Copies of this chain bind each other. A is one copy, B any other.
């Protein structure tokens, strides 16, 4: 069944395999009248680009082209088609493991579901798929910019090393998108060690959305938090999502967790900006648990396509952690959710338009 379309009013359909000719996205429902150039999109795309110090060495140019939906640099309300041609694809890196199922990957589940899989670089299940999400998210960002809404994600922890301080200006200054410069250095060191050991690490990403009006979200099933949870969990490698206090709230008392109400808003924001599935007007706060990248060069037990036991060492040009590249992907999914809800009929003019 089709699972490659996201959003109901601001809708995105993505397509493309890791080692096919190209990948892309069609954005349908983007409001007309927004100035949009390839550079607007490229900016976000560059933030998830491999080739950065700590990331995979596959150096993809990743140039996005706009094929439709704009006229003289302005969106027209018709579908916007984006394409990114794949370059520097070394499928041969994968030929030797084509008949082996990589642990922690979707190799076997794709075969079980579809009876066939494109083994070149994971095909559709590759993290490369998220480039299309980031490109689409950049368009949502253009739209939300106009409405005064901004989204920023950052690295909260990596390989068990957690931020001890939060300096928003620091996020853009280190390659890990980490708001704590000291922690960022420790993380870098740990990544280098893990690369030598042939192992990998996970971490936690936190996402802040600022400027959202109250009233976004559609109870009882399409609540804002429900849609955010689904959106973030749809990113490969994410194994957990929480809003506001999240799992910590499970051990708090009601008198601790409730946010006292003031005439302007709330005295605190344990709720993470959402009550009853509807935005409160406070910052929306989401966290994503990211598992360690399953591609490791350490030997692992697996089976081949015939079910025979085998040992696998996953070589090739792999990142040690999905962080930091997953950070802009988390932003993109949040942007897409918010853009979608900003087009919903309610709330009306006073709060939104």
Contacts and interface: CB of A to CB of B under 8 A. Distances in A.
A18 B55 CA distance: 41
A255 B78 contact: no
Contacts of A29: 1-2, 345
A159 B79 contact: no
Contacts of A296: 254-255, 258
B258 A104 contact: yes
Contact of A301 (B20, B261, B294, B349): B261
Interface stretch (A43-51, A167-175, A181-189, A212-220): A212-220
Contacts of A94: none
Contacts of A201: 253-254
B220 A234 contact: yes
Contact of A246 (B221, B234, B240): B240
Contacts of A217: 3, 109, 113
Contacts of A334: none
A179 interface: no
Nearest to A345: B343
A200 B253 contact: yes
A276 B106 contact: yes
A116 B294 contact: no
Copies in the complex: 4
Contacts of A256: 292
A306 to B, nearest CB: 9
A97 interface: no
Contact of A303 (B225, B236, B263): B263
Interface string A301-344: 11100011100000000000000000000000000000000011
Nearest to A260: B301
A114 to B, nearest CB: 4
Interface in A226-263: 226-234, 236, 239-263
Contacts of A83: 67, 83
B123 A258 contact: no
Contacts of A220: 3-4, 14, 124, 129, 234, 236
A117 interface: yes
